[in-house]
Structure 1
Amino acid sequence: MFGFSIFMNQPLSNEKKSYIEKMKTIGFTGIFTSLHIPEDDATTYYSRLIELGKEAKKNNLNLMVDISGDALSKAGFSIDRLDELKHIGVTGLRMDYHISNDIIAKCSHHMTVGLNASTITQQDIDELRHFNANFSQLEAWHNYYPRPETGLDKTWYVEKNQWLKEGGFTIQGFVPGDDDLRGPLYAGLPTLEEHRYLHPLANALSLLGSYTDLVYIGDGGLSEVTQSQFKEFLQNDTLTLHVDTIDEKFSSLFLGQHHNRQDEARDVIRSANARFKQIPDIPPKKILPRSKGSVTLDNHEYLRYMGELQITKTNLPKDGKVNVVAHVIEKDIPLIDHIKAGMSYELRKDDDNE
């Protein structure tokens, strides 16, 4: 479901090897790399791809390599020697411009082939069928867009993916990382422009809800905090939200694990666990406007609802019966939209602001 990128502009350091191992442990299943980035020295690709392939095999990870035109031959490999690539750990080639559908069809009988999802036409599909391509090994991979304002429109993306799904393709998209951003612009590597500066996990969940099967981190890294959030989601089906605490007195009532109620509310996430705790008297305090991401506890003015815990999904006015006790940090607010009915979530104090 999820993969990450390792670029070959530098030798594979021990730090990067540890990162690969950790991402595998978290639950990521594949690595993406490229052989045709203009800023890189292509003469270094041969040894570095061998080393990256070794790490991919060691961690049982797929390795998709982006090529176009003569990129393979410049790096010292050949499209006529796919067994050599498979031997070093490459499991797939994403083939972009200047590679014919005849060659793509032949390669599809030896390994996974990623096509440029944005440019696939009905004529391409017809030609691939004519050349007897193995469609079970063809995938549609979208681009990432380093330059701000050039990422795809979401409506167009969804419509394109619906069409690709009808053709039987597995579909992939990229989301930006939040560490080790790719140069020279360092502005993230998203497929969708609206994802450029948002939380990687929220972006990934957004793509999964948009006819996308595989989501890869476009940039070279995820911060340790974001890695932990991916781990909780992949291993425990839990979304972790970090909060700035406003009222420490009642932190034991809101910090920790919760479940959204099965009857999903429009405006708020309602903790199914909160009112089953032993609730002390909660007097009115911190009666504030409830901007999106506000964590609230109903006070005793709400009578039998006292102790109900909510997270606002939209901006709501202040209410004398509702105390604002914390607020989800700005970076994590996009995750709120992905807490669906019955889903587990955890409120955790933001260590950066302690």
Structure 2
Amino acid sequence: MRRLGISLYPENSTMEKDKEYITLAGKYGFSRIFTCLLSVDGDREKVVEEFKEIIAHANTYNMQVIADVAPSVLRELNIKYDDLSFFHELGAYGIRLDEGFSGLEESIMTCNPYNLKIEINISNGTKYLDNIHSFRPNTSNLIGCHNFYPHRYTGLSYDHFMKANKQVKEYGIRTAAFVGSQAEGTFGPWPVSEGLCTLEQHRTLPIDVQAKHLFATGMIDDVIIANAYATEEELAALSKLNPELMTFSVEFSADASELEKKIVLDEFHFNRGDVSEYMIRSTQSRVKYKNEAFPAHTTRDIKRGDIIIDNDLYGRYKGELQIALKDMPNSGRTNVVGHIVEEEIMLLDYVEAWDKFAFLAKK
């Protein structure tokens, strides 16, 4: 099951605001929280008190909290890698290792008696995970999460992202990556905050498009909003996503008929197995509506991302829905009934043979 998460930075905010954000995210079904424990003053009791309160509030909404830690923090708090009782006392679901150890330490951490999850950094694309596995970890307690990048142009390239994911998925590891809220005044753990995301190409995209892309790769299980605080509209948009079904946002043509809109929005769609390089074909509508009329309209030349339905002039094909993968001339027998929003056209590359998909009208 794929999940959604938020991030909290207690050092840069207040307990009241963090609790309000948790409550709001819980309302929309978010189930993960990333938080930083990268900088502490060594006052163990103070750290325990503050984090316990936040985590207890999160747990009331069944939200699992993973704290980002570094070896230096463990030293400051006098925490040994073979005794993670401190994090159990906090009520945490697990810890994320901001920096790596030798491999043996991570392996031992996964065998903790509390079954705390040990989340490792999977953005570097090294043989780090191979090394951990050589020490026979408890794989049920080992998960992975990418970094986020507050500095513009420093986010991961798509090719590197996918290469790193493939290494991790060979071990069946659960994965997570970050998306960035586009709200004004958001923040992360550091002073520099030019948006927070894992993939550089996501930096200026709407938050739901970022998430759709991560899920579409088939490599990411959990999507976490990196910066705080996302707006309620953004939380709502993410909550409406079906992580298992590619859903495109569509803008309809002015002349699209009610029947054509019904086919687009209400019918069940899947790509034919005998795939075309020019279009994605959903053919069941031509069977269901074979006795309906599809008068010709909006027969301009076809552009990539157009949603098209063959009209009466195409005979047995009338009523068939297609999504254009390439620009094509229009013979006049195909109605352009809508267009996938520009930001989502890249998602067409992820629809393969027999893949199911759906549409939502852009508001």
Partner of 1:10: 13
Q: Contact 1:293 / 1:313 at 8 angstroms: preserved in 2?
A: yes
2:227 paired residue among 209, 219, 227: 219
CA deviations 1:139-182 (Å, max 9, x no partner) are: 3332112222222233333333444445x361524232344454
Which whole-Å CA distance do the structure 2 matches of 1:192 and 1:171 have between them?
18
In structure 2, do the counterparts of structure 1 residues 330 and 46 end up closer, same or farther at CA, with 3 Å as the change threshold? farther
Deviation at 1:16, TM superposition (A): 0.9
Which of 305, 320, 326 matches 2:317? 305
Given residue 96 of structure 2, which amino acid in structure 1 is its aligned partner? R
Give 1:268's aligned residue: 279
**2:179 alignment partner in structure 1:** 176
Distance 1:52 1:205 in 2: 29
Number of residue pairs the alignment of both structures matches:
337
Could you tell me which of 235, 242, 253 is aligned with 1:246?
Answer: 253
1:337 and 1:158, CA in 2 relative to 1: closer, same or farther beyond 3 A? closer
TM-superposed deviation, 1:63:
1.6
TM-score, normalising length from structure 2? 0.76
Question: 2:5–2:222: 8 Å Cα contact kept in structure 1?
Answer: no
1-side partners of 2:167 and 2:359: how far apart?
A: 39
Shift in Å, 1:249 = 4.9
Matches within 5 A, 1:1-354: 1-8=2-9, 9-11=12-14, 12-13=16-17, 15-24=20-29, 28-36=30-38, 47-71=49-73, 79-80=79-80, 82-97=84-99, 101=103, 103-110=105-112, 111-119=116-124, 122=127, 126=131, 129=134, 133-166=137-170, 168=171, 170-180=173-183, 181-182=186-187, 186-198=193-205, 199-209=209-219, 212-220=220-228, 221=230, 224=233, 227-228=236-237, 230-234=239-243, 237-255=244-262, 256-258=265-267, 259-263=269-273, 264-275=275-286, 276-277=288-289, 280-351=292-363
Paired amino acid for 1:175: F
| AA aligned opposite 2:242 | F
The one-letter code of the counterpart of 2:233 is E
Letter in 2 for 1:204: L
User: Helix, strand or coil: the match of 2:266?
Assistant: strand
Preserved CA contact (<8 Å) 1:62 1:90 = yes
Given that residues 125 and 167 in structure 2 are in contact (C-alpha distance below 8 angstroms), is that contact kept between their aligned partners in structure 1? Answer: no
Output the amino acid matched with 2:110: S
Are residues 201 and 339 of structure 1, via their aligned partners in 2, closer, same or farther at CA, if it must alter by over 3 Å? Answer: farther
Residues 155, 199 of structure 2: 8 Å contact kept = yes
CA-CA distance at 1:333 after TM superposition:
2.9
Unaligned runs of 5+ in 1: none
Q: 2-side partners of 1:319 and 1:45: how far apart? A: 69
Matched to 1:242, the amino acid is S
**Distance between the aligned counterparts of 1:123 and 1:144, measured in 2?**
19
Shift of 1:135: 4.3
Once residues 214 and 28 of structure 2 are traced to their aligned partners in structure 1, the CA distance between those partners, rounded to angstroms, is 15
Q: Name the aligned partner's letter for residue 154 of structure 1.
A: Y
Q: 1:203 to 1:219 in 2, by over 3 A?
A: farther
Give distance in 2, aligned partners of 1:179 and 1:15.
19
Once residues 124 and 200 of structure 1 are traced to their aligned partners in structure 2, the CA distance between those partners, rounded to angstroms, is 26
What is the rounded CA distance, in whole Å, between the counterparts of 2:326 and 2:54 in structure 1?
Answer: 45
Task: Determine what percentage of the aligned residue pairs are the same residue.
Answer: 24
